[in-house]
Each structure stands twice: as C-alpha cells, then as structure tokens.
Amino acid sequence: MLVVSFCSHPSIADQLFSTVETEVYMLSNRAFQQVTPNTTTALEPWQSINSAVLNVIADSAPVSSALPNSLQLTIPAGVSGAVGFANPGYWGINVNSSWVYNASLYYRFPYESSFAGNLTIGLQAYSGEVFASKVIPIDGAQTNWTYVKIFLQPSASARTTNNTFFVTVNTSGNAEETINFAFLSLFPPTYKDRPNGMRIDIAETLAEMGPAFFRFPGGNNLGQTTATRWQWNATVGPLLNRPGRVGDWGYVNTDGLGLLEYLTFFEDVGMEPIMAVWAGYSLGGTSLPENELAPYIQQAKDQINFVIGDPATSALAALRASLGHAEPFYLQYVEVGNEDFFASTTWRDFVGNLSAEFPQLKYIATAYPFNPIISPDPLQYDVHVYQTPSWFAENSFYYDKAIPGQRNGTRYFEGEYAAISLNETNLYGTPDDGRLLYPTVQSSTGEAAFMTGLERNSDIVFAASYAPLLQHVNSSQWVYLISFDAAGVVRSTSYYVQKLFSLNRGDLYLPSSLPTYNGTLFWTVSRSSVTGDVFIKVRQLTSDLLNTTHDALQISNTVATPAEIAFELPFPVIAEWGTLQLLEGAQNASNTPEMPGAVVPVTSYIATGNSFEYTAPGYSVSVLTVGTAD
C-alpha cells in the first residue's frame, strides 16, 4: 500500500485550468461570404422550393461592400403555388416551441417591376409540417435593399432536427420575376440574451466547468495565409461590415463571433482572456521578412487598444465604447502568434514595440522553450503536445525535470494538450491506426495523470488548456472536449476530467510524498485557504497502459487492477466523512452522441480522518474532498 505524507511548508498554487476556442446563428452560408458567384458550391446548402431558379450572384448593388454576393430567386413560368428556397442549417435545425426565434433578411428587386405579393418566412419539417411562419407584403418598386425582421414562435416542438428555414413568394401573376436576397439570419434565444450571442446549451456546458480563462481566437486559426489571417477590425461593428474569411480548416468563418462577442462572453462566464495577435507567420508556411512587419505590429497595437484602451485618448477604445462597452476589458496575457517558432527578430520586434506601449501586459512566446534562444528572454512560453495516453502518464514529471533551467523565472502555459491516439508511431493516422474518434476513459485518465504534474508544478505552469474544444459531430477533424449537433451537446470523458480538476482546486498546493516515476498511481493535493477543504486528486492506471511497446498500445485489454493508497494528514480533520467524486469506466468507453452519458462522475461519501485509506479503481479519476480545521 502506498502511504502519502505531507511536507510542512505549502507552496502557492495559482494555476488556471481551462479550455479554449460558438456562435448561435442557425443558417449555413447565411451571407454567401467568401464564395465564388455563379457556381453550384456557392449555393450550398440552400435548396430550391417548387422549381424556383436560384443563383448566387455578385450583386451590382450589394447590401454592403463587405458582403458583395446575394441569392437571386427567379420565379419560373408555368408553376403554381409558392416558390422559394430553404436552408437545413448545420445538419439540422432545432425547433423548440418554448423559444422565440429572431429571423431577418434583406431583399430588393434588381429592377423596378409590377410584382405584387407576399414573402412567407418560417420553419418547416421535411415532412411538410409548418411549425411557424409569418407573411410579409413586398413591393416590386423596392429596388433598394429592404430589411425584414420577424419573430417566429413554433406551435409545437419538432420531434427531430430534420427541419428547414424557408422563404417563399406567391407565383400568381409573377412569372419570371426576379428578387435578390442577402444576409439571411435565424437566431434562437442566446446565452445571457446577448445580441449575436452564444448558443445557450454550449455556453452553459462551458460555464459548468468553471473555466478560468479562454484562449482566442483559437490556435492555428490565426491564419492559413497572410491575406486570410484573422483580423480583429474585420470582426467588430455591424454584421453587414464583416466579410468573413476562409478559415484554416477548409470552411468559411463568418466572424459573426468577433472580438467584442468573445470578450463579452468571457465576462458573462467569468473567464480571463488570453488573446493572440498575428505575428507574421501563417499556418501555410509563409513567414514575412522583418522589414514588412511594421503594419502588422501596428494592427496588433490597435487590437490591444480596442480591448483595454481609454476612450478619452484612443479612437479604437472609443469605437469599443460606441459598441456598448465603455470600460476596458480585463487583459493581462497576450500571445504572440501560435506555434510560430519564430526567429529572434520577429519576437524582438513584436514584443519590443508592444511592451513599449503596454508594459503592464505579459507576453507569451510560441517558440520551443529555449530553442532557439530568442531575445528578449520570454517570461512565458506556450507549450503544445498531442500524444498517447501512455505518453501523458509517463510524462507526469515533465515539469519537475524535463525543461532545463525551468525555475529561472520562466513560466509555462500548457496551451494545447490531448491524448489523441493509441499509436505512438502514427499519432495523426486513422481510427484503424489507433486514432481516437472521441476521448476514452483510457485517454482521459492518461491526461489526468499529466495534469497532476501540472498542478504540482503550478509555481511555473500558470495555465493549462485541453484542445481542441468544440466539434460538430458531422464535421469532425480531431478529438474534441465537447461534441454537439443541432439538438444538444456531448460532454466527453476528458470534459469531466477537466471539470473535476477545475472545480476542485485549492489556492495552496500541499507538497507530499511524490508518486512513483513511471508508476501506475498519480495524485496531487491542494487546499482552499477560504474553506479549509483539502482536495486530493487520485488517478489510477493499470500497468498495461504504461507499457510503451507498440504492440501493448494496440492490444492491451487487461482488466484494470484497483490500488490501495493511504493518507496521513498533518492537520485536524473537522468531519469524519468527506466526499468522493469518482470517474471510472471500461478502458475504451467513450461518451458519444449515441451514448452521451456512458461515463459520468458519481459523488458519494467516504470515511476520512487524520489517517485514512482509499482504494482507487482501475482506470479512474478520483477527487476526495476532506474538511479540515484551520
């Protein structure tokens, strides 16, 4: 049996555990951003109703310079009844009778006509059942853009998400008439009722974790090329002025979730922003020379001024105030690039200029720690790692010993980490190669072992975040913390590990006897100076998980063996009973859309005292909370 005893001088644990990287609009390709007009792909996923002729065009008089394209509807001859178009959303639309939906669009006639009739806007099942609709009279004399906004409350909830948003016009006497439409939108209620806000269930799932920070705008999504980089000023102000951009993973980012929406959401949840600025390097491999960096350094300054500037002295801060947030947002960390591995001159130019104007901020480098040596010496590094469950377990002592000179004043941000594969020789392969589709109990407990090392070294590891954060189940490219579809969310096993660590985190780390290096049982202990509660996190591995041979990673299916551990607490215990939060399951168990609650934490009571024993089940994460006296 392992016996854990404690040292007499606790150190301060101020580490932030969190996650990184959704906006709630429900229509896919709602504004025809960054598409090629007169192509079938520009129409996706819009669908014709009753043989309506549809085409995305470069409008001769666009709704805005940022949104040059529109959807042109031509009423065919010889058709009776209503014609129009429909949008199925992002693989479905959730129709809920308790919600009021905000729907809007712009329309105009490309030339003055004698059209007389109505628009009908609504929500409908593919079966034909109409859940809600509104009729709006329109006039063929309207050659300028007319804004239409309506509210839709469904008469019943849909049984499935196989529904569409539709717009139709009557055909009688209107054959071959043409109408242009732009910037169509459908919003359900949003988190905290914010305009252009967040989807409630996803936002609540994030808030449920008690995250301390949010890193944005999201890793490598800073830009695939210089031209398509994320630019803060293209994401603020009216939505009509946001052109969107081709994102780094192959789909269009609308930028409806812009800089102000990000920051407002962080305030609503109580998260601290860790904000990245683009620093001359693009994911596609291009890197700007030093003599071309000046305008991008200025753009980074402008971005920071928008966030924390004084409206009385900064025009950009005044812009923020005009958008409804007069007070500066809280900001202390700025990350320079993302996985840029930049040359010393790039770091020097960006940090030198930014720190001269904003000396109060802390700048995070995205180069390998100490390789190469860059100047001025970074005081914060962002470290990323995607690996196997066994790698994470074996490297729970990484920050105890792996980084040379790690306690020289340099601090670390474990900005991206996740166990993504069981195959250490082909991490980025396919499921047949061991790549995970969803986190498993095995992968999540491997991450938890690593996290005990992060918490133990919280004097130098100031923040940690699992990545990536969100995936739509119909468009997955990685292993994510939270999955969602049109109807709801799935909290992964790794989500529950992150939540257990986040919500059970003292502000004092209690040094104790250490886990065995390359052992099977890992733990960390912290205490709240406010409540006096002691949080003991225990993560149990079986030895087959720690076997690093290729064969073992592929075929290991040994029954997990429980392990006994004893604790000797050096302070009075208030209660004879503490609480146990236990996450355990079969090695390959996952929470999936088909079985979203397969593995969830269970809370129970446990006998405690100054000395007590605990048996950790195999493949488990345990949090023991013990009440103590001052």
Locate the domains of the chain by residue range. 3-22+191-504, 40-187, 508-627
Q: Which residues contact 108 (CB under 8 A, 6 or more apart)?
A: 61, 142, 143, 144, 145, 146, 179, 180
What's the confidence (pLDDT) of residue 19?
Answer: 35
What's the confidence (pLDDT) of residue 612?
Answer: 85
Q: Strand 101-108 to strand 53-58: parallel, antiparallel, or no bridges (unpaired)?
A: unpaired
The three-class DSSP label of residue 553 is helix
Letter string b/e over residues 591-602, b meaning 16 or more CB atoms within 10 A of that residue's CB: beeeeeebbebe
What's the confidence (pLDDT) of residue 472?
Answer: 92
Q: Alpha carbon of 513 to those of 343, 363, 415, 517, 568: distances in Å?
A: 41, 35, 28, 12, 11
Residues in the chain, total: 630
What is the four-CA torsion angle of 592, 598, 599, 600, rounded to 10 degrees? 100
357's enclosing H/E stretch is helix 344-357
CATH superfamily of 40-187: Galactose-binding domain-like (2.60.120.260)
What's the confidence (pLDDT) of residue 20?
Answer: 35
412's enclosing H/E stretch is strand 411-419
Give pLDDT < 50 ranges for the chain. Answer: 1-23, 541-559
Domain 3-22+191-504 in CATH 3.20.20.80? The answer is yes
The three-class DSSP label of residue 92 is strand
What's the confidence (pLDDT) of residue 517?
Answer: 78
Spatial separation of the C-alpha atoms in residues 335 and 333, rounded to whole Å: 7
What's the confidence (pLDDT) of residue 552?
Answer: 17
Look up tokens 């006497």; give the residue.
173
What's the confidence (pLDDT) of residue 270?
Answer: 96
Q: Fold identical between 3-22+191-504 and 40-187?
A: no
Q: Which fold has domain 508-627?
A: Immunoglobulin-like (2.60.40)
What's the confidence (pLDDT) of residue 616?
Answer: 86
